[in-house]
Amino acid sequence: MSFDLQATRAEFPLLALAKPPLHYLDNAATSQIHQSALQAMADHDMFRRANIMRGTYRLAEAATTAYEEARARVARFLNAFTPNEVVFTSGATSALNLVAHSFGESLRSGDEVIVSLAEHHSNLVPWQLLRQRTGIILKFLPVTADGRIDATALAGLATSRCRLIAVTHCSNVTGAVTDIAAIVAAARSVGARVLVDGAQQVQHGPVDVQALGIDFYAFSGHKCYGPTGIGVLWARHALLDAMPPFLAGGGMVGEVTPEGSTFARPPQRFEAGTPPIAQAVGLGAALSWLTTLPWGDIRRHEQRLLQALLAGLARKPGVRILGPTDLEARHPVVSFDIAGLHPHDVCQVLDRHGVALRGGHHCAQPLMQHFGLDGANRASIALYNSLADIEALLDGLDDVIEVLR
């Protein structure tokens, strides 16, 4: 099967119906939702809407089956060892906080956690809060001049007290893809676990957690053509089994008495209350669709657009590209600064041209500080983007520079 851009774009209702055309380049924040996910959620709520797990009537059993099938679809997308390693959360932020709280319960004062300076705040602030609660030592993996995580620095950072290394799979600012193999090798040499924030990776194709050799993986549905309000934590089952609950309530318990409670086995232990059932079903549909696509063709398509964007930005006066300026080990996420212009002003002018772009610090202030900036503009390309989107952005920037300077 070859990749058909126009047919694929038609499967995203907002893009297909937008008048005038929408040049949507904010995919690192939220991708558009695929029609399969919309249809799956609509079908679920029209024909199977009921609460799950404890209902003994047919409708509730059908809802439970749909929810667990969604879990199995996520497991297949990630090549998990078993669906019971998949925990549904409200998003990547919730998944990362779950690990910081539950796995963090096993850490003691003086234990070390290493994160990088390229992390989204969701993979930094929870560890800072854990440091306040428990006295762990938080160490920072530096970045190179062009913003890549410097895995070679682990040789001097990772000690026998290191318990976890937590890094992004792909930077939401520079698009740089982390050398996970080097991170895992360094972690294993000192007996540490590895957590990967995959929020920016999953829209670019299926992930193989077994091949990565990691321990935890987190991502959000709304960044991989699925619904908002749903995310995933994958973790090795032995780790989940040893972790205490993060949230408490219905569905995650075994027996409750006035004196105390016992807890369900994973993944139910970490899914207190009524979960986002329809959203899980929608995410399962989106991920199943992703697994059918010709990813070799799609990656070549995305690289062509990325190359055109990088070349076009390099020709604009006063524009500075943050991060790598080549195509090596990166996804099509490009942040840039225009000297003397505030990112929010840039985005507002581009909006007049039908271009949707993100401006700000992108919840990555330490990395912005590395580049000496408070914020930047970011264009992020998805599989449904076209050369027309890139050209609209580049033409719009001419107007930006004329109007704002």
**158 and 271 fall within a common domain:** yes
32 domain residue, yes or no: no
Which of 274, 291, 308 is the C-terminal boundary of a domain? 291
**282 and 356 fall within a common domain:** no
The amino acid sitting at 76 is R
Q: Which residues have CB under 8 Å from 325's CB, separation 6+?
A: 146, 310, 314
How many residues are given for the chain? 405
Catalytic residues: 363
Give me the CATH number covering residue 10.
3.90.1150.10
Task: Compute the distance between CA of residue 26 and CA of residue 385 in angstroms, rounded to an integer.
Answer: 11
Query: With contact defined as beta carbons under 8 Å apart, do 367 and 337 qualify?
Result: no
**144 and 268 fall within a common domain:** yes
Query: With contact defined as beta carbons under 8 Å apart, do 251 and 277 qualify?
Result: no
**306 and 224 fall within a common domain:** no
State the DSSP code for 170.
B
**221 and 125 fall within a common domain:** yes
Task: Compute the distance between CA of residue 92 and CA of residue 146 in angstroms, rounded to an integer.
Answer: 26
Q: Could you list the pLDDT tens digit for every one of the 405 residues in the chain?
A: 799 999 999 999 999 999 999 999 999 999 999 999 999 999 999 999 999 998 899 999 999 999 999 999 999 999 999 999 999 999 999 999 999 999 999 999 999 999 999 999 999 999 999 999 999 999 999 999 999 999 999 999 999 999 999 999 999 999 999 999 999 999 999 999 999 999 999 999 999 999 999 999 999 999 999 999 999 999 999 999 999 999 999 999 999 999 999 999 999 999 999 999 999 999 999 999 999 999 999 999 999 999 999 999 999 999 999 999 999 999 999 999 999 999 999 999 999 999 999 999 999 999 999 999 999 999 999 999 999 999 999 999 999 999 988
β-pair type (333-338, 319-322): antiparallel
